Structure 1
Amino acid sequence: MSDALVSAVLQQLTTIIYEEVEQEVKLLTGMGKEIKRLKGNLESIHALLDDAEERQMKERSIKIWLESLKEVCYDMEDVLDEWNTALLKLQLDESDQKNFSFFKGKVCCPFFSCLCCGQVGHRCGIALKIKDINERLDGIAKNKDNYHLTPRDVRQPRRVESTSFTEVSNLHGRDEDKKNLIDSLLCGNSDEGESGVKTISIVGMGGIGKTALAQLVYNDGAFMAHFDEKIWVCVTEVFDLSCVAKAIFMALEIPNNASNIDPDSAPLQKLLEEICKFIEGKKFFLVLDDVWNDGSESWESLNQAFKPAAPGSRILVTTRKDTVAKTMKSFRVFPLEQLSEDVCWKILGQEAFVGRGEEQCKNLEDIGKRIAQKCGGLPLAAKTIGSMLRFKKTREEWAIILSSEIWKLKLEGIFAPLLLSYLDLPSAVRRCFSYCSTFRKGVKIGRESLIRQWMAQGYLNSSENAEMEIIGDEYFECLVARSFFQDFQILEDGSIWTFKIHDIVLDFARFLMGDEFVLKEVHPEDNLRIELSSEKTHHLSVILAENACFPTSLVGAEKLRSLSIFKSDYAEEGFPEELGKLMHLKLLDLSGSRLKILPKAICRLCNLQSLLLQRCFLLERLPGKIGKLVNLRYLITTGSYALTYYPKGIGRLTSLRKLLGIVVCCDHNDDKKFSLGDLENLCHLRFLGLRVQGRQIDTNEARRARLQSKMYLKDLNLDGPWDSEIEKDEVFEVLSPPSHTDVTFGGNRIRPGAPPSSTGSLYD
């Protein structure tokens, strides 16, 4: 990951130097020299980082050296952000007087425009910070000679077909376990003489295959024929009974005429009452996957809702903790043991031998079996190592894996094989994988969403003239090929739409990130203050328990790059004042919050690239000065139906790539509301979703929108009050989107997109 961070800073420094030469503009006295010196130091370190990344696990001095290097690189990124922010604020002040005409062009290089700023004092402060960073880097560069680091060849991601990889290898060796578990679940399963719902718990260490075994049972048709209803709930790491109740409610698919409640906004008690009513007299099978919470009070509330169920109903729990099985009063505990070495070899070989001939497989079999022995009977370890060995062509390469010192490290059970696979990744892909630590356990993750977040963090920049989305796809497929992702939802064209990350893999990503990622859980009784103890924290996820409000104070968060808030129910006055000072924030995710008004402080986040406001059911208004977020690429408000007013300033966000769920006035050019014609300068849009307001289409507004000239537009989704005065054909004809654009009206796809006639790419 250090390698990727150094590469990103080097690229920015190269751009600065190039701009200085190309434009014949001198930087502040001495600054150009300092930048070139900094670039030279980083280049001298760069080639040694792969060796350092591996050796840091057993040599603490190298780990400390790498931490110092990462800190310097992050500080340099912060300086660049600080300069760019100061420049943007100055330009925003000027553009306020020119109706934001400045933003029809591209924001220029922050250092190239330094002479235009007229902020000599601020520029001197920037110069001093760069000089200080250089002095620190001088010492780091000098110390590298103490560690006798060896340069390594740079690895590039291999393009793979992600759909060719299956997950069946997790199922080997569990036939007997499946039979015994089903027998246990059906034991006493009769309508006579049995009362209450019985619980069985599968207990075992991480990566041993608890979820895979539960899936085997859940998908067994003969077994499931015993039940009227089946429900699968993945319990997230921070237990929230409301979330579990909502998941059960939705899995039961209760008809609308049987319940008029909205599960997203209904209180817990109401959800439990509806579940209780629906399952009365029915025999159900419920799987609660990956339970950590062993507090008895929450489970007792849930059990009360299941009392009216028919005899023979069962709950199957998977957990790493024996105490959970006791808390849930399991009438039987099913301990899951490690697999045999032979089964581990079968899993490993199935992954490693993809695409190899019979002779080559025979040549590698003996060494492969010895590697399988090191997997400790854990199917996830065998699959991960097998996925890595697929890309090792020779016996010598396999021997290097067998003899690696990493096997000897004192790491958590499966971390050694994961670390081997991680270190074998190209450095840029490593950084992208580590970022996955910011996601919650057990949740579905959208492929496009992940790539969008990588882009926002600057992980997909390339010295080559390659499109960022395409680079992101290659990195994603690389991680799929190495079995870091699982549980794929596949689209008709064979591509992956959503996926999950195994809990152990997520634990491993967080182990790599250390203090850079922090997960905070907030309860109603907690102090209304979050204080980050480490200046190294760059990513913060806050999970609000039921009835908890977001703290009014956020201390030590100045270096945050991403802030995500889950299950929030705070009001505007409870939002931290420090929010507007998070200069380096690239992603702000408030999806699912109960905010009514988005805080004005958000408009000061000049470097923000993603603002996610999905399913904010109470949100009524966005701040009028949202047009100041000139670097914003993604504004998504789908599902926020109370948000009927969108400010006109959105039309100034010329960096937007994705604009979804936006209400647009179509029958006139409103002075304050976002109107159809305000799409005029949003030339980089790839995805556009509009809720149309008005009883007719103003043709002048439609022409001003200039959709036909938006050659990057890949998907157009229109929804609204399609009454008799607005014909869909008329809308389509007047707007005239490009021929390659997928068009959807009111949820119905009316025109599939075609390849664009121009030679331009659909991507950046």
Structure 2
Amino acid sequence: MAAVGEIFLGAFLQVLFEKLASGEILKKFRRERIHTQVMNWERKLLEIRAVLDDAEEKQITNKFVNLWLEELQDLAYDLDDLLDEFSTKALRYKLIKKSQSSTNKVRALITTFCTRFSSGGAIFDFKMRSKIKDITTRLQDMSKKISELGLHKVDVFRTPIQRLPATSVWGVLARPPLLNWITKEIVGYVHADSSESRTLDQVQVKLKNALAGKKFLIVLDDVWDVKYNEWNILKSPFSDGALGCKVIVTTRDREVSSMMGTVQYHALECLPHEECWSIFAQHAFQNISTNTNPNLESIGQEIVKKCGGLPLAARTLGGLLQCEPGEIEWQNVLNIKIWELKENDILPSLRLSYHHLPPHLKQCFAYCAILPKDYEFKEEELVLPWMAEGFICQQEGGKKMEDLGGEYFRELLSRSFFQPSRMTEGSKFVMHDLINDLAQFFARKTCFRLEDNKEQYKNLKKARHSSCTQGFVDGIKKFENFHKAEHLRTFLPLSLTEFREHYLTSHVPLELLPKLKCLRVLSFSRCCIHELPPLIGELKHLRYLNLSYTIVERLPESLGNLYNLQTLLLKGCERLKKFPTSIENLISLRHLDITHADSLEEMPLGIDKLESLQKLSNFIITKGNGFRIRELGNLTNLGGKLEITGLQNVVDPRDARKVNLNGKESLDVLSMVWSEGSEDLRNEGVKTDVLNVLRPHSNLKKLHISFYHGSRFPTWIGDQHFSNMVCISLRDCKNCSSLPPLGQLHSLKKLFLEGISNVKQVGSEFYGQGCSKPFPVLEILWFTDMLGWEKWYPYIGETKVRAFTCLIELSIKRCPKLLRTLPNDLPCLWNLVIENCPKLLLKVSNLILQSLTTISIEAIPCPSLPLLLEMRNKLELSSLESLDIRDVSIPDTLCDPSVADEVEFANVASNHMSSLTSLNFRNIQNLRFLPKWFFKKLRGVESLEINDCNELTTLWQNVVTLEHCLPALRSLQIGGCSQLVSLFEEEEEERQQQQQLERLSFMMRLESLKLKDCEKLKKLPRWLHTLPFLGELEIDSCPSLVSFPEKDST
């Protein structure tokens, strides 16, 4: 029996109370003469709310209470829709009053409505009165049943929930719902193209050909609900693999494991009590000390016993109790009746974690039942629909809905209902399969997920939220049963592959939208539709519309009828050219995203009237319309990220001053872009003044400036008051001759300087006068295309500064005039990249950095052999893992065999670069073979790549002397070496040499050998067949190689 009442009813009823008390709606009720009736609704709802907690407890064992809660849920939805219609009429009325004194286009759009909108209600819609009567009758029936069911008022005190930081939890590999889909995924991993294969048979032929004769390991993680025939079809392409192929399957279902039928399965036992307790305690006592209440530990031990040794249950319950310091709350968890229920695939411990969520989180979590298993999502993908569904209510003068939604999301994350995705670390999240099952269990009939199972359609009539997994081509037949879902609020086609487009026939929107009049959330994202039908304007409840990455060319004028619309996402709509003139009517719009809508010609007229806007991704200024930048001034609530493009068209700084960026304290990221070809020196002063008055608020975190052609940066860039600034990018500011004092920004972590060609020196002006420790937390510093840069001074006046003490990554590319050397004191540097800096001197002291893990050197002068030896022997880099050298010329003496013995002695005591694992050489001039002295004692190198070294004739001479050289090498790749004849120079007594090699450790761990575009390569080593781990040999475009070495029969 499902616990329906726990979904969201407590929070939902609270929302209804707030709507009933809304000033605008109350006025409307009085105009329509139904105020007394509405007051009666409120009384009935209060009676129901008083017994709701008792009903939620009794539903577990009383099916009649369960049915009563189902009816109440349907009634709450219908009442909410009715109140929303009143609210929409109030919004229209408000818009009419606002436009009465003007002759704008709003009046034309709503003239027909004006004739119907009567203050006395004489022409009030008959259907509306019928709905009011229906709600009144149903409320009375629900109220009568309270006593019949024995429900009593319960006074419940709920402790406020603390907001906790996210905890790191494990991830689950994606599992596709369809055979076709999973087969295509495997095809993708083996680098075969299946884009033109539509049917399962075609895809399987591709996979079978790709795997034929090859050795492979395939892991199918968390397989569930698979039929025997499906498994036979899925595994059929694996049959032609080489001997030793393996397929590993993990599952929670013993029937699935036995169905595999090849080897005995290995059952993972439950965790011992001690380990389960450790997981529970790690989460439960994160903010609670057992010293204040020693009984908590003993109660916790009893709770852990009921977890049955399951780590997810222990972790989830620990997350639940970390906010509950009182003994009573812990006892309630231990003694609740949920433990007595049969599991029915939902663990009682997980049901309990949901049961103890605050009401506002219950409805947010239950909504997540529409997400397919293993679907990866960003925070805003849930927060914005939560807002649209009314789950987040903004109190007057309180936090914004977006901020509250973020708190809700992070709280569910901290309680392990969500977990970070391992596939896209840091930016996306997933739900564990069991947690996904939990959401479906509590959402029950309200959430409908259209997948393979046709039986699901019978649940559509009661469904309020729906998602579907997108196919390659979706026609109206797929959605033919949606006429049953007349109360549907959410329609979300979701893609399991982020970059794939999905074709939706034009009939789908035309057929679907007239049936789904209650929609609040609608998405056609990544569907190849080229237009939106005009009837979109009839969806009066719609609050969220996502058309991102579609091929829509225009939006209908009827879009302006969506007075409730909060979110309009047009990201990646590359063909969209302009907005409808009616967009100024979207008075509730809070989010407008036009990122990468590159064909947009200009911003819509009247955008300054959208005063509710919280986030506007871009503001475009066109030629002759520079004055329109002042429209940004009216959008006082803008926050998040804003990019202003076309600033070269602003000819009067007074217009820019009206923007009032300094007053927009919620902006986090600001990008300001002039045109790439806007180098008009006559307007240089205007550009300087414009940027000067566009000073943002000191709360700004990231600043990007591109193609600014003033002669100097304004003083506010680098001002110490920007205490939250963590990232700055200055790009192609070609006329500026000096850098701003960015060293004064004490929070700056990333700095990118590109194409500032007039800067000749970097020194005190960059560090900041009087700044004793510039760039105290800077971690990433890039200099790119600084064509005039000549000197980098480590001084302020006569004093040497200690800057960049936290720098992790330093990149200097294409700075052709840069002289002198790099700073020496970089104690935290991990990654050093230097490219095309022909005059830069790279001293040994620059590289003696104990934290350095990666060095990439390209197109800089190589020192003489004595200096190179000194560098090689002084590089005691215990942390260096990767060395990348490109486009350099080395001294002739470096590859002179006559000096090999002389340098050998210098190597004896050296233990340099002991942690090096990866070497990459590209276009090294004068490199005829690899110097043995350089590779001596590189015991940890696992990967060696050599490309485009056109003078290389062989890798090593006298290979038998290479004992202890590259013993860990696993991958060797050589490409584009046109003079390469052999990998090793072999002596005449080949058999004796082969026997010697077999006793050495040289290359004995090699697993992969790839040779490509080596036109003169004639032979492979005779001892190639003795390599025990070689599993991959790839030879491409080596025409002189005519045979493989024969295995010696002796």
The alpha-carbon distance between structure 1 residues 100 and 50, as it changes in their structure 2 partners (threshold 3 A), is: farther
The alpha-carbon distance between structure 1 residues 664 and 391, as it changes in their structure 2 partners (threshold 3 A), is: closer
Question: Do residues 558 (structure 1) and 486 (structure 2) align?
Answer: yes
Paired letter, 2:590:
R
Distance 1:538 1:381 in 2: 30
Structure 1 range deviating more: 356-365 or 73-82: 356-365
Distance 1:747 1:378 in 2: 57
The alpha-carbon distance between structure 1 residues 351 and 651, as it changes in their structure 2 partners (threshold 3 A), is: same
The alpha-carbon distance between structure 1 residues 402 and 724, as it changes in their structure 2 partners (threshold 3 A), is: closer
- In the TM superposition, residue 518 of structure 1 has moved relative to its aligned partner by 1.3
List aligned pairs for 1:378-527, cutoff 5 A.
Answer: 378-462=310-394, 465-467=397-399, 468-487=401-420, 497-521=427-451
Distance 2:516 2:64 in 1: 32
Equivalence for 2:663: none
Question: Do residues 64 (structure 1) and 64 (structure 2) align?
Answer: no
- In the TM superposition, residue 313 of structure 1 has moved relative to its aligned partner by 6.0
Structure 1 range deviating more: 561-570 or 543-552: 543-552
| 1:27 aligned to which of 26, 31, 37 | 31
Contact 1:406 1:416 in 2 (8 A): yes
The alpha-carbon distance between structure 1 residues 531 and 352, as it changes in their structure 2 partners (threshold 3 A), is: closer
- In the TM superposition, residue 115 of structure 1 has moved relative to its aligned partner by 6.3
- In the TM superposition, residue 558 of structure 1 has moved relative to its aligned partner by 1.8
Which string of whole-angstrom CA distances, capped at 9 and with x for unpartnered residues, describes residues 174-200 of structure 1?
xxxxxxxxxxxxxxxxxxxxxxxxxxx
Equivalence for 2:141: 139
Question: Do residues 75 (structure 1) and 78 (structure 2) align?
Answer: yes
Question: Do residues 234 (structure 1) and 236 (structure 2) align?
Answer: no
Distance 2:427 2:539 in 1: 30
Paired letter, 1:136:
R
Paired letter, 1:140:
M
List aligned pairs for 1:241-390, cutoff 5 A.
Answer: 241-242=180-181, 245-246=184-185, 249=188, 286-292=218-224, 294=226, 314-322=246-254, 324-325=256-257, 333-360=265-292, 362-390=294-322
Partner SS, residue 359 of structure 1 = coil
Distance 2:355 2:175 in 1: 30
Equivalence for 1:3: 10
Contact 1:242 1:546 in 2 (8 A): no
Partner SS, residue 120 of structure 1 = coil
Equivalence for 1:635: 568
Partner SS, residue 611 of structure 1 = strand
Whose helix fraction is larger, Structure 1's or Structure 2's? Answer: 1
- In the TM superposition, residue 364 of structure 1 has moved relative to its aligned partner by 2.6
Structure 2 segments unaligned to the other structure (5+ residues): 1-7, 496-501, 647-672, 725-1050
Question: Do residues 595 (structure 1) and 550 (structure 2) align?
Answer: no
Paired letter, 1:438:
I
The alpha-carbon distance between structure 1 residues 129 and 104, as it changes in their structure 2 partners (threshold 3 A), is: closer
Distance 1:301 1:747 in 2: 57
Contact 1:288 1:318 in 2 (8 A): yes
State the superposition RMSD in angstroms.
4.7
Equivalence for 2:884: none
Distance 2:585 2:596 in 1: 16
Paired letter, 1:14:
A
Which string of whole-angstrom CA distances, capped at 9 and with x for unpartnered residues, describes residues 277-313 of structure 1?
9999987655433333635787778767778988766
Partner SS, residue 714 of structure 1 = strand
List aligned pairs for 1:142-153, cutoff 5 A.
Answer: 142-146=144-148, 147-153=150-156
- In the TM superposition, residue 13 of structure 1 has moved relative to its aligned partner by 0.8
Distance 1:309 1:733 in 2: 64
Paired letter, 1:519:
R
Equivalence for 1:193: none
Question: Do residues 725 (structure 1) and 677 (structure 2) align?
Answer: yes
Paired letter, 2:136:
N
- In the TM superposition, residue 589 of structure 1 has moved relative to its aligned partner by 1.8
The alpha-carbon distance between structure 1 residues 573 and 18, as it changes in their structure 2 partners (threshold 3 A), is: closer
The number of residues matched between the two structures is: 660
Question: Do residues 540 (structure 1) and 472 (structure 2) align?
Answer: no
Question: Do residues 99 (structure 1) and 25 (structure 2) align?
Answer: no
Which string of whole-angstrom CA distances, capped at 9 and with x for unpartnered residues, describes residues 605-624 of structure 1?
122111112333x4444334
- In the TM superposition, residue 582 of structure 1 has moved relative to its aligned partner by 2.5
Paired letter, 1:560:
L
Paired letter, 2:484:
G
Distance 2:63 2:137 in 1: 23
Equivalence for 1:606: 540
The alpha-carbon distance between structure 1 residues 86 and 340, as it changes in their structure 2 partners (threshold 3 A), is: same
Structure 1 segments unaligned to the other structure (5+ residues): 168-211, 216-231, 757-764
Contact 2:460 2:485 in 1 (8 A): no
Distance 1:262 1:733 in 2: 50
Equivalence for 1:180: none
Which string of whole-angstrom CA distances, capped at 9 and with x for unpartnered residues, describes residues 264-288 of structure 1?
x986899889989999998765543
Question: Do residues 585 (structure 1) and 592 (structure 2) align?
Answer: no
- In the TM superposition, residue 346 of structure 1 has moved relative to its aligned partner by 2.2
Paired letter, 1:517:
C
Paired letter, 2:405:
G
List aligned pairs for 1:175-186, cutoff 5 A.
Answer: none
| 1:700 aligned to which of 626, 630, 650 | 626
Partner SS, residue 540 of structure 1 = strand
The normalised TM-score by structure 1 is 0.73
Contact 1:646 1:664 in 2 (8 A): no
Paired letter, 1:714:
G
Equivalence for 1:12: 19
- In the TM superposition, residue 334 of structure 1 has moved relative to its aligned partner by 2.9
Equivalence for 1:191: none
Distance 1:399 1:532 in 2: 41
- In the TM superposition, residue 38 of structure 1 has moved relative to its aligned partner by 0.8
Distance 1:746 1:533 in 2: 54
Paired letter, 1:542:
C
Contact 1:718 1:746 in 2 (8 A): no
Which string of whole-angstrom CA distances, capped at 9 and with x for unpartnered residues, describes residues 565-588 of structure 1?
235532112445241343321101
Which string of whole-angstrom CA distances, capped at 9 and with x for unpartnered residues, describes residues 94-113 of structure 1?
989953446999xxxx9xx9
The alpha-carbon distance between structure 1 residues 510 and 484, as it changes in their structure 2 partners (threshold 3 A), is: same
Distance 1:623 1:63 in 2: 45
Which string of whole-angstrom CA distances, capped at 9 and with x for unpartnered residues, describes residues 431-482 of structure 1?
1111111111101121122111111101111556422223223322332232
Contact 1:53 1:423 in 2 (8 A): no
Distance 2:263 2:471 in 1: 30
Which string of whole-angstrom CA distances, capped at 9 and with x for unpartnered residues, describes residues 197-255 of structure 1?
xxxxxxxxxxxxxxx6xx7xxxxxxxxxxxxxxxx85014x325336635873x78x7x
Larger Rg: 2
Partner SS, residue 47 of structure 1 = helix
Equivalence for 1:716: 642
The normalised TM-score by structure 2 is 0.55
Distance 2:25 2:92 in 1: 24
Partner SS, residue 518 of structure 1 = strand
Distance 1:746 1:299 in 2: 55
Contact 1:665 1:674 in 2 (8 A): no
Paired letter, 1:506:
N
The alpha-carbon distance between structure 1 residues 311 and 162, as it changes in their structure 2 partners (threshold 3 A), is: farther
- In the TM superposition, residue 37 of structure 1 has moved relative to its aligned partner by 0.9
Distance 1:61 1:563 in 2: 31
Equivalence for 1:198: none
Distance 1:677 1:737 in 2: 25
Partner SS, residue 428 of structure 2 = strand
Contact 1:610 1:632 in 2 (8 A): yes
